[in-house]
Chain A
């Protein structure tokens, strides 16, 4: 069951990434990969939130984690495209954009996961 849920979540997450990435790419300058950065930061926020809301005591916790975390959020966020777009910035010698993308994604993503975890913890405490 967990494998099917992971596959279903992965399909939805990948399509959401493709849709949002295309939407952003059509609206901003192609010189900086803002789409992937936005996707990875929002996905990192959501993983912090979901993991804080789920606990071993949550009903169907393992199934929900397979669907939402391993499947949907894992499929939505991407490391390989982040590295590929960074390589393109390096090859076009856009040093500032390269540094901003490589370091900025990681730092803002970590902040996102942290804020998500705090928000999830507050929601759990309030329930």
Chain B
């Protein structure tokens, strides 16, 4: 289940990244991926913990496999490193801070909504 989720999550990230890349500058496609993935993880685990507390299959497939692979920490750090290396350290700080804060808000909201569904 984890492998199947990962095999779908990574191409989904590539697809959303290419689509979002048409509208926003480079690192912000990863921002969109990480924030939407965090929202969906909060929602998924909120629903699962109430409705299917013993379901390992969905937890492994969607939460750990798909959403774990859809979101990425390595590209997030690499994008920030590139901003610093190309002489934009403050943009790197803004990118890192906004990603972490927006992702945190997204998972909090997702989890609240998930528990109410």
| Distance (whole angstroms) from the CB of B54 to the closest CB of chain A | 18
Q: Which of B9, B14, B45, B60 contacts A84 (CB 8 A)?
A: B45
Say whether B20 faces chain A, with CB atoms less than 8 Å apart: no
User: Pick the contact of B77 from A17, A44, A84 — CB < 8 Å?
Assistant: A44
- Pair B75/A14 contact, Cβ less than 8 Å: no
Cross-chain contact B68 with A14 (CB below 8 angstroms): yes
Q: How large is the interface on A (under 10, 10 to 19, 20 to 34, 35 or more residues)?
A: 35 or more
Q: Once the chains bind, are A9 and B107 in contact (CB under 8 Å)?
A: no
Chain A residues in 8 Å Cβ range of B7: 7-8, 10-11, 14
Contact B81 A114 (CB under 8 A): yes
Interface string of B11-50 (1 = CB under 8 A from A): 1011000000000000000000010011011100100000
Chain B interface residue bracket vs A: 35 or more
Given B14, B67, B75, which contacts A80 in the complex, CB threshold below 8 Å?
B67
Which residue in chain A gives the minimum CB-CB distance to B34? A79
B75 touches A47 (CB 8 A): yes
Interface locus among A24-32, A56-64, A104-112: A104-112
Whether A80 contacts B71 by the Cβ 8 Å rule is yes
Write the A94-113 contact mask toward B (1 if CB under 8 angstroms, else 0).
00000000100110011011
Per a CB cutoff under 8 Å, which of B4, B81, B107 touches A48?
A: B81
**A3 engages B14 (CB within 8 Å):** yes
Contact B76 A79 (CB under 8 A): yes
Residues in chain B within 8 A of chain A (CB atoms): 2-11, 13-14, 34, 37-38, 40-42, 45, 60, 63-65, 67-78, 80-81, 85, 96, 99-100, 103-104, 106-108, 111
